[in-house]
Structure 1
Amino acid sequence: MLAEQMNPFNNLAVSAIVAAIPILLFLLCLTVFKMKGIHAALLNLLVTFLIVLIVFKLPVGESIGSVAEGAIQGVFPIGYIIVMAVWLYKIAVESGKFDIIRGSIVGISQDQRLQLLLIGFCFNAFLEGAAGFGVPIAICAVLLISLGFRPLQAAMLCLIANGASGAFGAIGIPVAITGTLGLDGVTSMQVSIMSAWTLPIINFTIPFLLIWLIDGFKGIKEVLPAILVTSTAYTVTQGLITIFIGPELADIIPSLFAMGILALFLKKWQPKHIFVMGEAAALKAETYSVGDMLKAWSPFYTLTIFVLIWSIPAFKGLFTAGGALESTKLAFTIPGSSIGVTLDLIGATGTAILLAALVTIATTKSLSFRRGFEIWQTAIKEFAIPILMICAILGIAKLMTHGGLTVTLGEAVATTGKVFPLLSPILGWIGVFMTGSVVNNNTLFAPIQATAGHIIGTNPSLLVAANTAGGVMAKLVSPQSIAIATAAVGATGQEAALTRMTLKYSFGLLVFVCIWTFVLSFFF
């Protein structure tokens, strides 16, 4: 925090209400006023800048530097990751691999409810665990559209499905980072174990919710065996991993296991009624050789291999102080401020995806590097506005952090005493709504959660886990997630509509996490 004060009105309640204006205004802009996402983001950036500058007395240089920091991070690493992921997807389409992938899925089942479980839930969770940062939503939503789902519908379903995996995205970093914050009595393993008291309930429920959203209770009844196979395989496996191994593989292994078990199950069982939505015609199932299948899926397992390498501690160590590749990191201070920025040019996840794309081009005879470069330019053009929106959102988040608004909100909620566990997940929801990242959320609010836990006599690891779970529920409506989803399905400008579609589910899941955390606080 760089501001002169966090309680400008000498009344924490009033200061917290003012600090909450950017969040409330953002929700109003996207729901009541139905503004385009980019317009809402830019308006809120201006309002937040004025609040931080005039009310919280953040110096002009630091205020401008905060916006600059957010803009830089919006482009790199987040924009970098998004463009690389979309580029890889477009390469798969251009090369014809995507048609084989789609055909192989249809070969498992032509029922769109089962396709949703395979792609919207299982493959979504796998990509979240391997890459995170919007990659699963961007890729899986488009894949669902190719299978006959409507654009905004596909985006909504992928956002909701992501609620089952967001806590352990990008090799478990959201939970793993809590062990690096020096919190008293809190380790990442303790948070991982404590999350197993809440997340499995949500994870088991989400496949039911997904099917209900497209085919109601009738659909749940008709494909109940497949839902139970998916929910049980994923939930039990993830629960065991989070308790006995840790957060790093808590998405990757369960999602692959659930997808494999479901695919094998569907070879023996299919619903009596094949469900195909509205105008979407049933796609013809194709038969492909094992070699064709391996080649078609190669962009994604190549992606996984590179991302896993980038996540190995020994590889990460190359970029730390004294490491062999330390010099590849660009560090500087934003002029006119005290805010430092570090750009990890090679160690960024986007570089791992870039290499996967280059390998895919190099191993695809029908695709030249020149054509690949043209596809890359198309991806940049398509995502220019969404990335600008993300830059504005992160500018708001940095202003709230450096200006003390997030601390004010945290301190205000923490004054509620024994009722705090009921409100604890709301802090996480706020953190992810503003930053779009569960990692950033835990960095911001995990210390407040842990401190509050010690003060009120509640297990601090429970509250940090609640902060994580509450944050995951905000990913359904985070402006950053919404921007990525609408851009991926070709619906840029319809952010308000998508927000309205997902908001009630975000709030509903958040209410459950709040109540359940409060119940658990009596036992921990």
Structure 2
Amino acid sequence: MTFIQLLASLTPIIGVMLFLVWFRLPASKAMPISLLLTLAAAAFIWKMPTQLLMASILEGLVASLTPLFIIFGAVFLLNTLKNSGAMDTIRAGFTNISDDRRVQVIIICWLFGSFIEGSAGFGTPAAICAPLLVLIGVPPIAAAVVALIADSTSVSFGAIGTPINFGLEQGLKAGGGYVSDGFMQAHNMGISEYLSGIALHASTIDLITGSLIPLVLVCVLTGFFGKNKSFKEGLQVWKFALFSGFAFTIPAWLMNYFIGPEFPSVIGALIGMAIVIPAAKKGWLLPKTTWNDFAEKVEIKHVETQVKYSQLTAWAPYLVMAVLLVLSRTIEPFTALLKSVVFSTGPIMGTSLHQSIAPLYLPGTFFIVVCILGFIIFKMNGSAIKTSIIDSSKSMLPTIISLGASVPMVKIFLNSGDNGIQGLGSMPVELASAMASVFGSVWEFLAPVIGIFGAFLSGSATFSNMMFSNLQYTAADSLGLNTQLVLGLQMIGANAGNMMCVMNVVAAATVVGMAGRESEIIRKTMPIALGYALIAGTIATFWGGF
């Protein structure tokens, strides 16, 4: 690979870094420009056939419909709850649990945020949880930082497993098959089993790394934003913090092991809330004194306790959603029925590329169903329903543009193995070869950092996995490492990158009125993200045979 070819292979990364990070363009502008640059580099330097380039773009456009449908359904449900008044009930329920801001941060950001991540993903938790914290008296910049840090471990299984079932699965595709075909054939497994093994490695490591996140949250809260700048004040609730950490990670691990990667964050968070909230109300594992001593004083906007619905009624759509998801993934006749309706492209433009969608099986369909149920339960009038639909549709336009450019760009990146230069592999394969030759001896430490870098650039753990899983697999295979473990580290790194990715930071800063202070937020979250990756890499290095 020549230097010019190396630059061409790095075009997707350079483009995103330049336009999204350096010039701070919105993703709806940065990603189309990056797509055009990648297309030019692939055509003129990598010598990809025009037919394959066009087919890759079409493949990407069809593939993008899956996450778009999920995102729309999730946003639609959130707007339904908001416009019906049910979200006010949910908010009031959180404020009545404890007066201790450390406890509130753990419950709202770590547990409720993990539930939202599992249901919706794509940066939604920070955008919801940060304003909730401001509402109860947490300074805006502190709210944005802790909400972003909390949205990490649960990202592995966010949006009903999208980072795995879409991100990794699409990223491992190579031509008409998967780069991991050799491994899967040797071990007599299909892609679902292979992905489940990756998810198990990631969730096993997160039994340690993830369980520490609630303790990190409270220490960041008191150490950076408390009046006394004291990390010790955060450590005072270490028992409760670790208890809350394991209350999510253990059920999530069990759900992943026994059922699959769609439900761990959703069910793990629900179980965690069912365990932790009663404990908090009784003061178990908590110090006798509460903490609310911020350096920046914030006027608390009291939430009316006289709300329209009971907590059970307000939570009903989410509970029904969870039940439908579990049934659709565990009851075989129901699963087969939902998967029986399939839309397939067939071979695209005469190539081996193809895409298929089973719309009834997608979580987006279930979101729509529970929204309709919400209309009935909450007795919403036509105006409220119309507002929910319009607001959800309008909010999707930038996402449609971003995903409509991002996925085709990644597809070109992945499908570049078919080119007009003899002996030249695909872009990720060639990059992996170059990087493995330099960093092979410390790849377990590098793997999660690559995941962070991908999420930071692309704004999504899903797209980090999509961009770099091929590279990670190829490097691990050439180095004789456990490919599922290395891909698990990629997942963990992508989760950590979620704390500091540009789009999430911008969204969190905006919703709490801190637009313009994004760099300050990133400076607080970046060390946490790198520490997360370092611990995961250390565990993998010394515990690589698990």
Q: If the length of structure 2 is used for normalisation, what is the TM-score? A: 0.78
Give the structure 2 partner of residue 355 of structure 1.
369
Alpha-carbon offset, residue 56 of structure 1: 1.1
1:160 aligns with 2:149: yes
Alpha-carbon offset, residue 77 of structure 1: 2.4
Give the structure 1 partner of residue 86 of structure 2.
97
Tell me if structure 1 keeps the 8 A contact 2:458–2:464: yes
Structure 1 segment 179-190 matched on structure 2, within 5 A? 182=181, 183=184, 184-185=186-187, 187-188=194-195, 190=197
Inter-partner Cα distance in structure 2 for 1:87 and 1:219: 39
Inter-partner Cα distance in structure 2 for 1:189 and 1:78: 20
Alpha-carbon offset, residue 488 of structure 1: 6.8
Give the structure 2 partner of residue 52 of structure 1.
42
1:475 aligns with 2:465: no
SS at match of 1:255: helix
The number of residue pairs the alignment matches comes to 506
Amino acid at match of 1:262: V
Give the structure 1 partner of residue 265 of structure 2.
251
SS at match of 2:356: strand
Give the structure 1 partner of residue 423 of structure 2.
none
Alpha-carbon offset, residue 470 of structure 1: 2.3
Tell me if structure 1 keeps the 8 A contact 2:118–2:264: yes
Tell me if structure 2 keeps the 8 A contact 1:167–1:174: yes
1:40 aligns with 2:30: yes
RMSD: 3.9
| Residue 112 (structure 1) aligned to one of 101, 116, 131 | 101
Structure 1 segment 372-521 matched on structure 2, within 5 A? 372-403=385-416, 404-415=426-437, 416-429=439-452, 432=455, 449=472, 452-453=475-476, 455-478=478-501, 481=504, 502-521=525-544
Give the structure 2 partner of residue 282 of structure 1.
300
Mark the CA change 1:171 to 1:518 in structure 2 (over 3 Å): closer, same or farther: same
Mark the CA change 1:274 to 1:491 in structure 2 (over 3 Å): closer, same or farther: closer
Q: Structure 1 stretches of 5 or more lacking a match?
A: 1-6
SS at match of 1:53: helix
SS at match of 1:158: helix
Tell me if structure 2 keeps the 8 A contact 1:89–1:139: no
Tell me if structure 2 keeps the 8 A contact 1:118–1:259: yes
Inter-partner Cα distance in structure 1 for 2:405 and 2:427: 17
Q: Per-residue displacement from partner, 1:273-322 (whole Å, max 9, x unpaired)?
A: 442754533354766799712112223223323333443463443354xx
Alpha-carbon offset, residue 432 of structure 1: 4.8
Tell me if structure 1 keeps the 8 A contact 2:472–2:490: yes
Q: Structure 2 stretches of 5 or more lacking a match?
A: 170-177, 224-230, 417-425
| Residue 260 (structure 1) aligned to one of 269, 274, 283 | 274
Mark the CA change 1:41 to 1:213 in structure 2 (over 3 Å): closer, same or farther: farther
Tell me if structure 2 keeps the 8 A contact 1:310–1:349: no
Tell me if structure 2 keeps the 8 A contact 1:92–1:98: yes
Inter-partner Cα distance in structure 2 for 1:109 and 1:489: 22
Q: Percent identity?
A: 26
Tell me if structure 1 keeps the 8 A contact 2:86–2:309: no
1:317 aligns with 2:336: yes
Tell me if structure 2 keeps the 8 A contact 1:102–1:146: no
Give the structure 1 partner of residue 289 of structure 2.
272
Structure 1 segment 235-246 matched on structure 2, within 5 A? 235-239=249-253
Tell me if structure 1 keeps the 8 A contact 2:137–2:299: yes
Inter-partner Cα distance in structure 1 for 2:290 and 2:392: 39
Give the structure 1 partner of residue 324 of structure 2.
306
Alpha-carbon offset, residue 357 of structure 1: 0.9
Inter-partner Cα distance in structure 1 for 2:154 and 2:261: 11
Tell me if structure 2 keeps the 8 A contact 1:104–1:288: no
Mark the CA change 1:450 to 1:341 in structure 2 (over 3 Å): closer, same or farther: closer
Tell me if structure 2 keeps the 8 A contact 1:310–1:352: no
Alpha-carbon offset, residue 105 of structure 1: 0.7
Amino acid at match of 1:195: A
Inter-partner Cα distance in structure 2 for 1:336 and 1:495: 46
Give the structure 2 partner of residue 3 of structure 1.
none
Alpha-carbon offset, residue 166 of structure 1: 1.8
